[in-house]
Copies of this chain bind each other. A is one copy, B any other.
Amino acid sequence: MSKVLVFGHQNPDTDTITSALVYADLKQKLGQDVEAVRLGEVSEETQFALDAFGVEAPRLVEKVASEVDQVILVDHNERQQSAVDIDEVQVLEVIDHHRIANFQTEAPLYYRAEPVGCTATILRKLYKENGVEISREMAGLMVSAIVSDTLLFKSPTCTEQDIEAGKDLATIAGIDLDTYGLDLLKAGANMSEATVDQILTMDAKEFTMGEHVVKIAQVNVVDANDVLGRKTEVLSSMASEVQEKGYGLFVLAVTDILSNDSVLLSTGEHESAVETAFGVKVDDHEALLEGVVSRKKQIVPPLTSALS
């Protein structure tokens, strides 16, 4: 069998990058010819995790069909979040923790999705189910993904399974979970040096909601003013993209990892959906969502309802 590429979503976050590396490690140990790749730049948070455990980032690719016939998706399934030529290859497997949408196959496949906070929590089970030992490096990458996706267990997406997995993996990785976890989050939450373009692309996803395509970007901050101090510039850049790509709505969630609140900046024809979805007043394209940290659980579902 020829080589299979394993990759996560565009605008990769820590869970997507490490899940590709970790699942490729498991598959290789099971004797399969797979390679982890990535569809975008490595964030500072992810680089912190890779450096902490001495692992190289996966190779950057733009397309996949010229290289392989078959792929494995981790941490995503919706085709608009995947490789641009995803329709030209066969998806052999999916390991994911998101909703299923815009996904279809011609043949049966291995699809493993669980409603947990992080793909790494599922990957840890797959090592156990396959009787493969988890190395210190892979444990370190997985616990980093869990800390990142659950904001150190504070996100409502976090489940008992994520907590149990995080603690076990921290032991294998030989780290103090709280100390390492906060350092990791802080490494990704310093927006003072980030350009507006970086803020809007580092963790941005498109969603189809009713008739509309909606873009939702999110950044973690320790000081919201790093972003809100440049609000005019940020909104202007968002508005240009709405024009160019035809989004019905573009929102940026600025999530404070210490207070666990988010400020939403929004623009687009259907901006009123933010008021409907969250029961808040949008004032000058800005709204405070108290206790909201999870795009998947707290932002996407109410916006989808409001727009469907």
Using a CB–CB cutoff of 8 Å, the interface residues on chain A facing chain B are 97-115, 129, 296-297, 301, 304-305
Contact = CB atoms under 8 A, between A and B. Distances in A.
A259 to B, nearest CB: 25
B109 A113 contact: yes
A107 B109 CA distance: 21
A108 B296 contact: yes
Contacts of A102: 104
Given A101-B105, A109-B115, 18 more contacts: A97-B108, A98-B108, A99-B104, A99-B105, A99-B107, A100-B104, A101-B104, A102-B104, A106-B305, A107-B297, A108-B113, A108-B115, A109-B113, A110-B113, A111-B112, A111-B113, A112-B113, A129-B129
A276 to B, nearest CB: 16
A209 B101 CA distance: 18
Contacts of A105: 99-101
B99 A108 contact: yes
Which residue among A108, A111, A114 has the maximum number of chain B CB atoms within 10 Å of its CB? A108
Nearest to A104: B101
A100 B103 CA distance: 7
Nearest to A108: B115
Nearest to A113: B111
Contacts of A301: 106-107
Contacts of A98: 108
Contacts of A129: 129
Q: What 8 pairs across the A-B complex have the smallest Cβ distances?
A: A111-B113, A108-B115, A101-B104, A99-B105, A100-B105, A110-B114, A99-B108, A111-B111
27 contacts: A97-B108, A98-B108, A99-B108, A99-B109, A100-B100, A100-B103, A100-B104, A100-B109, A100-B111, A101-B104, A101-B105, A102-B104, A103-B103, A106-B301, A106-B305, A107-B115, A107-B301, A108-B113, A108-B114, A109-B113, A109-B115, A110-B113, A111-B112, A111-B113, A112-B112, A112-B113, A129-B129
